[in-house]
Every structure is written in structure tokens, then in C-alpha cells.
Amino acid sequence: MNRRTFLQAGASAAIGALAGSGLAFAADAEIELSAGEPGAVISPHIYGHFIEHLGGVIYDGVWVGRNSSIPNVDGIRKQFVDDMKRIGAPNLRWPGGCFADGYHWRDGIGDASRRPRTYNFWQRRMPAGTDATETNQFGIHEFMHLCRLVGAEPYIAANVGSGTPTEFHDWVSYCNAPLGTVSLADKRAANGDKEPFGVRYWGVGNESWGCGGTMRPEEYAALYRRFVTQFPAYTEPFLVATGPRGHSADGDIGWTTGFFEAMRGFEPPLGFSLHFYTDLRPTPVQAGNFQAPEWYEVLLRGVRLEKVIEDHWKEMGKFDAAHRTKLVVDEWGVWYAPGSEITPAYILSETITLRDAVHTGMTFDIFNRHAGKIAMANVAQSVNCIHSLFLARGAQFVRTPVYHVFDMYRSHMGARQVPVSNPVPELNIPALAGQARLPGLSASASIRDRRLAVTLTNPSLDAPLSVRIRLAGGARATEARGLVLTHQDMRATNTFADPDEVKPAAYPVRVVADALVLSLPKQAVILVECDIT
């Protein structure tokens, strides 16, 4: 059934049902929320971030330098701090990515003018004539300062690929040991921070199957154990082991099986990293210039994440029935082939359009619906990169459409997930390989202190969708508020010259008896909030 047929059938069904209930309203679709039966808490960390020493991410994106004329806080771009704070950024992953497994933390401490210049993994991707040499001006103290300014928890990816357990343990002690204990704590104090950083989240390597060491899962599991057994116990850690390349054609389930098989009889990590890129690099799909099939292709590839989460969770359950280990989706985003960089040296930076915002809404709905499985997620990457919230170049700065989705979904952070029954049929869509099927509506909901938040995404380029959100169990809503992010042009984007082309606007939602009623525009993300009694 295509959307049009469904709309007719759905409308008749709804009218039929409503005739019985005496209500003077018909909708294309009815979804039901069971606010009285909330599920898992949606970890605020699902709305997390990631910055890497790569292209223009750290240098220029985050760090402008203490003597810069660009407004800054001790060298950190002030606008970045303010906006990250505004969306309640719960965490920040650093220093990579692939950079992490070549990074030696001692290079980034002490007198900044005497820090060494070192090799950066991303050199191999730099355009001819440009150079990625790492200046080490942004090290652990600068990173921690940024985290404190934003109010974000640090999540540090340690070097397993070219580092040693000793180097890792020293870094942990340097960060977390109280003053007056080990010498590394005194050194930290001498470098400006008397108080321990209290870093809890540690990634033990990154993509150890690729840039982090091209290992087999059993090789990595053996290294993982060596790296964590003598972990300095100043702050109770949340250790994250390298997990699969989820966007591989086969979902890379073999990595998960191999790692947990090799960990039998040993303490498993609390977190297992899952990387899932909506990877368009092998296709002709461009970041800023596209037609309907390319719009749908991105969304179609994006929603595969749900099955990848389910498959790996199931596999992990074979070894750990109690599911002590949770998933940490610490890299996700839409990754296009090169071509729309802010400037050639800002490798991996992309034009971000309404399509990426819609993809973000659908991704967050997946995370929310699987809240019990996911401890954390980190968008790759927050600024001047893949799927960024911000683009910056010198004094210029802009919030992308993706930023606004992070802002709209804030209400879910730390709230309890509410089950949603969503019977909206799939859409028949044109995609790269021909006709395909895509969920006709993406939805998730949460509740906190009787305040309900519902997020909905209509991926259709053709048709609006009128929806009746029924509150099960006799719940009643008081006044409801709506916010919509959309644009008549599917390719709409925010630029330095026109920074507010795509931004949220208030949207009408009616309360009708036990339901919330609204019409979702096509190609739109919507937030509905209300208090319920």
C-alpha cells in the first residue's frame, strides 16, 4: 500500500472509530502512548558529543587560541561553549577517533610554547600541500577546561594501538589521583589543576579492527585485559571496549562474537562501542545537492541502525544474559564523499541540510526506543566535520539544522521512555537501487514528572500526515505545545551568510479529549510537549 492509499484507508478507519466515540476529528494515523507504563530511563549521555584532532575540528572549531580576536574563554571559542551549554551537552569524547591511537598525552601538557609538534594520523587524508602536524596546544588541561565550561562529562579515548598499558595508567593517574598521592598528581597541579579531573569514562582504544591497530577480536580482547587489569582505582571507571563497525554490510557481528568469546571467564566491560555511520562515501550521493532518491537513500541507510542495535544486543546477551555490558554508540552520523568541505584542509567537513536533521530525529527516536540498551552515544563530530552541529571558520560561526534537533530532543534527556505503538505503514520510496520501503513515521516519547515529550518525524517529501496521539490508560493532557523544524526546500541549509534559514518554529497542537492532534508537515521533525493528569 502506498502512502496515498494508506491515507485514504487510514482516514476512513479513523473516521469510523471517531464516529463511535462522538469526536469531531479524523486523522490519517493514530499512535498510542502508554505514559502510565514508562520503561527505561533515557540516559542523558545518549545526546553526547565527540571532537577529534582532525581537519578544522579542534583547531579553529574549538580552539582559537588565547590571543585570538575571536571571542574566547582562555583560547576556547566562546560561541562553541555557549551553544554546547545551551543544549545541555552531557559529555564530550576526545581526542579521537583514529587520532587517539597515535596520541601520546604527555605531548599536550606543560608550557604550551614548549610542547612538541607531532605526527597526526589524518596527514594521509590532507590535500596536497597542506599539513596536519599536531601542535599540541589543546591537551588534557584545555580539554578539561572545555568540559567544565560546558558542564559536560569527559570521555577519553586512550591509545591502545601505539601506546602501552603504562602510558594509559599514567594518564589515568595524572587525571584522577588526589594531590599529595602519586607524583603525577603533583605534576598535574604544577600544570594548573590541583583538583583531580575525576574522569570516569575511558575508551580502551578506538576502532581496534581498523585504524586502532587492525586487530582480530581475540587479539584485541587480550590487549583489552592487559590495559584494564592494573587500572588505577581513583575514580570508579566506566570502561568502554572497542566494538563493531556496525555499518559494515554484515553488521560486523563477528567482532562482537569474537570479543565476548575471548572474554569468557573475565570481567566484561561496562560499555561496548558501536560505530554506525550512514556511509554514503561509496555512492554518488552528495551532501548539499540532491533529488528525492538521494533524500530517501540517506534515511533508508540511517534506519538500519535499529536492526544493528538489536542484533548486537542479542549477540551480547548470549554471553552476558544480565546485560551488564551496555552499548556505547560513540560514533554515528551521515558521512558523505568529499566535495562540500568548508575549506579543503577541513577534511571531512560537510554541508549539513534538512535531510541530515530529519536523519538525526529518526536516529534519536531509535536511541530512545532502545534506551535500556544504550548507555551513551556521541555524534561524529560536533563541529567542522561529519554530521556537525556547528560550522566555524575564523570569526564565522553557524548552527546547522542538526543543532536544532539536538535542542528539540533535550526534553528526553534523563526522562523515562514511554512505549509508542506506531501503526503507520511504510512508505514506498524511490532510492538508489529502485523502489524501497521506509517507516512512514518515526516516533519516540518520554515522561518526567508528568510532563510528556513526544518527538515525531515525517520523512515524506510528498505528503503531510495528520496524527492523533492517543494517551492510553485514561491519561488526559492539559495544554500542549509544539515545535517544528522544516523547510519547503529539502536541501535547505544554514550558511555563514544566512544562519537562520532552517530553525524551529512554534507549531499548533490541539488537545481533544484523551488525544493530542496535529498535522505533521512533510519533511519535518516535530516536538510536542504537554503536562498530563
Binding site for ligand AHR (CB under 6 A): 52, 96-98, 206-207, 331, 380-381, 386
47 with 90: CB under 8 angstroms?
yes
∠418-421-424 over CA atoms, to 5°?
135
Long-range contacts of 15-23 (CB under 8 A, 24+ apart): 21/513, 23/512, 23/513
Which one, of 368, 525, 367, 392, lies nearest residue 458 by Cα? 525
Min. distance of Cβ 244 from ligand AHR in angstroms? 12
One of 30, 52, 153, 207 is an active-site residue; which one? Answer: 207
Min. distance of Cβ 348 from ligand AHR in angstroms? 6
Min. distance of Cβ 328 from ligand AHR in angstroms? 13
The bridge status of strand 153-158 relative to strand 477-485 is: unpaired
The C-alpha cell of 138 is what?
Answer: 589543546
157 with 140: CB under 8 angstroms?
no
Q: Which residue is nearest to ligand AHR (CB)?
A: 97
The bridge status of strand 271-279 relative to strand 238-241 is: parallel
One of 297, 331, 341, 350 is an active-site residue; which one? Answer: 331
Nearer to ligand AHR, 256 or 382 (CB): 382
Nearer to ligand AHR, 281 or 318 (CB): 281
Nearer to ligand AHR, 309 or 380 (CB): 380
Distance (Å, whole) CA 326 – CA 379? 17
Min. distance of Cβ 259 from ligand AHR in angstroms? 17
37 is catalytic: no
Residue 6 has a CB neighbour count (10 Å cut-off) of: 21
71 with 151: CB under 8 angstroms?
no
Distance (Å, whole) CA 96 – CA 30? 43
DSSP 8-class letter at 124: G
Min. distance of Cβ 315 from ligand AHR in angstroms? 21
Cα radius of gyration rounded to whole Å, the chain: 24
Nearer to ligand AHR, 378 or 446 (CB): 378
331 is catalytic: yes
Nearer to ligand AHR, 297 or 350 (CB): 350
Among all residues, which ones are annotated catalytic?
A: 207, 331
